[in-house]
Amino acid sequence: MPSISSPADPSTAEAVAAPAAAHTEPAAGPRPAATDIRAALPDLDLDDSPTALASHRTDRSAMPGSAHPLVVARPASTEQVSALLSYANTHRIPVIPQGTRTGVSGAATATEGAILLDMTRMDRILEVDADDMIAVAQPGVIVADLAEAAAQKGLFYAPDPASSGIATLGGTVATNAGGMRCIKYGVTRESVRSLEIVTADGTVMRTRPRTVKTVAGLDLTGLIVGSEGTLAVVTEITVKLLAAPGLERGVVGLFPTLAQGLAATNRIASGARTPSRLEFMDGLCLEALRNHLPDADIPAGAGAWVMAVTDSIDGADADLAGFVAAMEGSGASSVTRAGTAEELEEALSVRRRLQPSARALRGGSIDGDIAVPRSRLLQFAEQVPALADRFDVTIALGGHAGDGNLHPILAFDPADAEAPARAEEALETLSRLAQKMGGTMSGEHGVGLEKLAFLDTEMDPAALELQRRIKALFDPNGILNPGKKF
């Protein structure tokens, strides 16, 4: 369990003496201009137009990014990435790897004088191998396109982040993206077999063979996944594929109270039949959806909504019966089956409309991404109303109950000049509460810039320092995404 606000043991502090500097950044000094880079790398697509620089300044977070990045670079090959990094490393120019910038933690935001490395031109699916059940793709491939290419061969790429229709594979690898299917299939890391990477000095390497098993060397693949572009630039990704699952079907339960709804999710998640999705929303979420979607069938007064889905080929009916029994045994006021693709999509569409619906409660909102051990979800949720009153915000609680990953939506009145700051403070309090319960301030969105302040109370000081030393080994000049993640 992480150390929570406790000083390091003296022996530990001695063991990590002479630490690498936190948030290492390239040394200051004169740097080449875009024209110099063009002269040195004439085949590389470079764009320093105001329009390009402005559009690449930030991701979907609230982090604005520097107003003065140097240039947008759009490599078309691993060789071009290697040449660019070698040049940037020699001249100490920061490099910010980017995809379609759908992240929400500021990991892709611009740094002053940085090269914004847009990887979206490297967008080819190189191989889908039905015998070895793998796919090989470049980082600019859209996740949904990879999933479709696998499906055409009767195979299945499991990771399914909410932004899969617009997010790149490289971006989901960089952030170790999650999504609704994590309860059964895990986060992105569980599906990545091998990577081709380019380190800060331009060295190209593969992290491991594409075989199912290997115990040779350390797990560099797992280390790179989720590193948010701070250790290396990923130029090729080999992922494992699965046999195509069955048609998804599900059940939706409404509950009089929050406690009953979370009791149902715990029964289902710990049962013998693992769902492919297990989602939860509290009463405030349902109120928001009812107000925002008047045609949705959401009765007034419900305290919780739970959806459990199966994609089993054999035993799907038994799965659904088990989910119904768990919901009814936990006190559900109603249980509805979504037995066709259309019915399930209707239920999922309600869940997907949560964020705009909750924002409409008061006009503005910020979103969280915390996770706690599943057994402590109710304990966490019970403390939310008092925090909402304390900070004068509305907090609607929903998320992926199957793995304890909640996305609190903190709604506020944007006409109140002090409301956004109160909402941010409330979210920080929720994040630190999750940490104290043995959880995390970032279940699936990453750290980026937005959550750096929470690292001190989540990670053991020695572990955090070790990560910074690993960063220094990969990137001694600190050019790769400086100031992020660590």
User: What one-character-per-residue DSSP string does 459-484 give?
Assistant: S-HHHHHHHHHHHHHH-TT--BSTTS
CATH 3.30.465.10 in the chain, residue ranges: 1-244+446-486
What pLDDT score does 21 carry?
Answer: 41
Reference 480, options 120, 117, 236; nearest CA is 117
Asked whether the predicted pLDDT for residue 76 surpasses 90, the reply is yes
Reference 109, options 448, 479, 441, 424; nearest CA is 448
Comparing 19 with 185, which gets the higher pLDDT?
Answer: 185
What pLDDT score does 239 carry?
Answer: 98
Is the torsion defined by CA of 137, 140, 143, 144 positive or negative? negative
Q: Using 50, 70 and 90 to split pLDDT, how confident is the model at 318?
A: very high
> Beta strands 304-310 and 277-282: pairing type?
antiparallel
Query: Using one digit for the tens of pLDDT, what is the confidence trace for 104-133?
Result: 999 999 999 999 999 999 999 999 999 999
Name which CATH class applies to 1-244+446-486. Answer: alpha beta
Mean pLDDT for the stretch of residues 78-89: 98
What pLDDT score does 98 carry?
Answer: 98
CA distance 53 to 42: 20
- Of all residues in the chain, the percent with pLDDT exceeding 90 is 84
Sheet holding 304-310, edge to edge: 334-338, 249-255, 304-310, 277-282, 398-400, 405-406, 370-371
* Residue 358 amino acid letter: A
Asked whether the predicted pLDDT for residue 12 surpasses 50, the reply is no
**Range of lowest pLDDT (346-360, 379-393, 395-409, 429-443):** 346-360
Reference 20, options 482, 457, 453; nearest CA is 482
pTM: 0.90
What pLDDT score does 23 carry?
Answer: 53
Q: Using 50, 70 and 90 to split pLDDT, how confident is the model at 301?
A: confident
What pLDDT score does 178 carry?
Answer: 94
Q: Reduced to 3 states, what is the DSSP secondary structure of residue 371?
A: strand
Q: Using 50, 70 and 90 to split pLDDT, how confident is the model at 2?
A: very low
CATH number corresponding to 249-436: 3.40.462.40
Query: Using one digit for the tens of pLDDT, what is the confidence trace for 163-198?
Result: 999 999 999 999 999 999 999 999 999 999 999 999
What pLDDT score does 24 carry?
Answer: 57
Is there a contact between 439 and 1 (Cβ–Cβ < 8 Å)? Answer: no
Mean pLDDT for the stretch of residues 2-30: 41
Reference 139, options 93, 202, 74; nearest CA is 74
Query: Using one digit for the tens of pLDDT, what is the confidence trace for 327-347?
Result: 999 999 999 999 998 999 988
Burial of 131 (0-12, 13-18, 19+ CB in 10 A): exposed
Residues in the chain, how many? 486
Comparing 334 with 64, which gets the higher pLDDT?
Answer: 334
Q: Using 50, 70 and 90 to split pLDDT, how confident is the model at 29?
A: low
The overall average pLDDT reported for the chain is 92
Query: Using one digit for the tens of pLDDT, what is the confidence trace for 246-288?
Result: 999 999 999 999 999 999 999 999 999 999 999 999 999 999 9
CATH 3.40.462.40 in the chain, residue ranges: 249-436
